[in-house]
Amino acid sequence: MMPNDIPVTREMVYDWLVEYTADEPDQTLREFLEDKLEELHLKDATVSTVQHEDRPDETPLVDMILDDIPSYEPKPPTGN
Amino acid sequence: MSQSLPQEIKAAGQGFAGGVNLRDAVNQIPPNQARKMENGVLDERGGWSKRLGSLSLGTFGASGDRIISAYVFFRVDLNPHVMIHTNAGKVYYSPDATANPMVWTQIATGLSTTKQMSWETFNGKCYFTNATDGYQSWDGTTYATYPSAPKAAYLRLWKDTMWATGVDAVPDRAYSSAAADAETWPVSNWVDISKGDGDRITAFGTDGTYLIVFKRRRTMSIYDPSTFANRVVDPEKGCESHFSVISFEGIVYFVSRRGICKYYGDSPSEIISGALDPFFDPRVINFAALNTIWAYTVGNRVGWCFPEFGQALPSVQVEYYPRLGVLSSYGIRAIGPFSFQRLPSSTIIRWRWQQQELTLGGSSNSNKFYQLYAPVGTDDGVSYTSLLETAGFDLGAATNTKYLRRAYLVGRGAFTMQTKLDFGSAIDKTFPVDMSSGVDVWSTGHNWGVGTWGPDSLYKSRQVDIDSYAQFFSFIFRDDGKTITGNKAIEVGSKEFTVPEGEWAIYGLYLECAMLGRRF
């Protein structure tokens, strides 16, 4: 999918991270996000990253989200 | 045996449209350029006029507050709001820049005291951000924050989309909002530009077609907002300040480490401030505060506020006259002239509503807000001096000594003319020149032959008897900080409009000399 076509917003991820921080689930952040994406039927979604110089043509959506976690504040826990 | 008389020379100056030149050796400065130019304008091509002053529009916040960022929030058919961010960590708006004093209402507090807000207007709202406080908006009545949006330092509107960059944790990353929606940020709408190159994105700009992504040492552009396709535009020049990027008459200008640049897009940017090269030296300007460089436009010129050595905020302005560049026979305009100003402001904005168009700015040394280039003769009650020092004129024979008998000046107002000889630092002679309009008009109390009557021209000529010998002559035109203004006439056919201008102007310099021999 093109980046613009991904039906997940930073606002949704922000809320997930707040939930993850509060609930302290017994799973990694990656597993937690994959569960959230699965609810949206997007667990296996990929994003076109053909114009990203350090990525293959397609990148799993969860990897894109995890890569951008440092930009969310208050800082969520890290580790995937 | 007969002896020939010294050859008489009559020389006309070439005006001052070449601007200030700090780069060339003192004997190499072209005759239409100047060694020093401060607090004046070159609006009348070839002439130099003292600039107008600064009018206080009242204060904001507490006495120690200073404006670190400002913006005009234009609203459809409504009075534009002036927005300011202060070093007290507060954002204010004022609904009317014509009021004096202006009324400021606090929108937000507890914000960064050092990181300047970057602003954009989209869908009727003013959005602003810095890397500490994150993304916020103001619609004229309501303030909102967006904690999930990228905590970006800089914003730029491009292709119906808000673009953000400068998130501290990901310094190479450029984010895009959803199309036509500056409040929704798709989770994978970002791209890293030259990731891990040891640099960070320092500014965004746009020429309308592309999004220009500046790092400190390089320039890239994003040319497809959907795929984020991007390329390197300039591999060796970047931008020091997001606030130095400005568009004027279809051209994007910005400030790099090595000077003021003109962006081309299809080839590396051109440094246009070559004549000011020595200015871009860490012993002259504060390299640690170059992120505060602030661009503005006023009339036919583009300006930048620079922090000088030892100053945390901008303290001097460099102004550029793109329209005064010489037009070639192929229709290509050469680089225009530069001059300096010492306006008491570090952040300058242009405000327009109905009949009024104002240049506004926050004071650099108080919590005042100013109308700049206002029809007053002081900078908020403080006198200022306009100064022009010409190149050294050799009158076509550098090795010969000349006797400079007299000079004819064309100008207006009252000022002082000084001469310097052979590039010496000492003043040779000082001449007061008064070309101010006559006030001694004829009245019934006068006898015949006393006083003057009838209209008095703004523009006059005066003869100055100089009586000096040298190979090179330089001239200084300055005032002693007078506090009055002058006028300039704009003739629209048979109708003349008089507009306020600085107190004096010098338009022409004509010399009468005798060529003497060589001194051994």
ipTM of predicted complex: 0.93
Interface contact flag, A6 B188, Cβ < 8 Å: yes
Instruction: Give pLDDT, residue A73.
Output: 78
pLDDT tens profile B129-184: 999 999 999 999 999 999 999 999 999 999 999 999 999 999 999 999 999 999 99
Instruction: Give pLDDT, residue A79.
Output: 43
Q: What average pLDDT is seen over chain B?
A: 94
Token readout for B428 is 């040779």
pLDDT tens profile B200-255: 999 999 999 999 999 999 999 999 999 999 999 999 999 999 999 999 999 999 99
Instruction: Give pLDDT, residue B438.
Output: 62
Test mutation, A33, A47, A53, A68, chain B, max B CBs within 10 A: A68
CA distance B295 to chain A (A): 29
Residue B224 contacts A, CB cutoff 8 Å = yes
Phi-psi region of A67 (alpha: psi -120 to 50; beta: other; left: phi over 0): alpha
Instruction: Give pLDDT, residue B454.
Output: 58
Backbone angles phi, psi at B394, to 5 degrees: -105, 0
B440 has a pLDDT exceeding 80: no
B306 has a pLDDT exceeding 60: yes
Q: Sign of dihedral through CA atoms B230, B232, B234, B236? A: positive
Token readout for B286 is 């504060």
A vs B: CB pairs below 8 A: 85
- Closest chain A residue to B166 measured between Cα atoms? A71
CB contacts, 8 Å: A4 with chain B: 176, 178-179, 186, 189, 226
Give the whole-angstrom CA distance, residue B279 versus residue B265: 26
Average pLDDT over residues B485-508: 92
Higher pLDDT, A78 or B489: B489
Judge contact between B148 and A72, C-beta under 8 A. yes
Test mutation, B133, B176, B187, chain A, max A CBs within 10 A: B187
How would residue B453 be classed by pLDDT, with cut points 50, 70 and 90? Answer: low
CA distance B194 to chain A (A): 8
pLDDT per residue rounded down to tens, chain A (80 residues): 999 999 999 999 999 999 998 888 889 999 999 999 999 999 999 999 999 988 999 999 999 999 999 999 765 444 43
Backbone angles phi, psi at B78, to 5 degrees: -130, 155
Residue A8 contacts B, CB cutoff 8 Å = yes
Chain B from 291 to 330: CB within 8 A of any A CB: none
Instruction: Give pLDDT, residue B452.
Output: 60
Instruction: Give pLDDT, residue A77.
Output: 46
Instruction: Give pLDDT, residue B288.
Output: 96
Element (DSSP H or E) covering residue A37: helix A29-39
| Maximum Cα interatomic distance, chain B, rounded to a whole number of Å | 98
Interface contact flag, B227 A47, Cβ < 8 Å: no
Judge contact between B190 and B207, C-beta under 8 A. no
Question: Rounded to two decimals, what is the model's pTM?
Answer: 0.93
Which strands form B190-192's sheet, in the order they lie side by side?
A: B154-158, B161-165, B173-176, B190-192
Counting residues of chain B whose pLDDT is more than 70, the rounded percentage is: 95
B300 has a pLDDT exceeding 80: yes
Average pLDDT over residues B461-479: 96
Residue B184 contacts A, CB cutoff 8 Å = yes
Instruction: Give pLDDT, residue A40.
Output: 97
CB contacts, 8 Å: A16 with chain B: none
CB contacts, 8 Å: B185 with chain A: 9-11
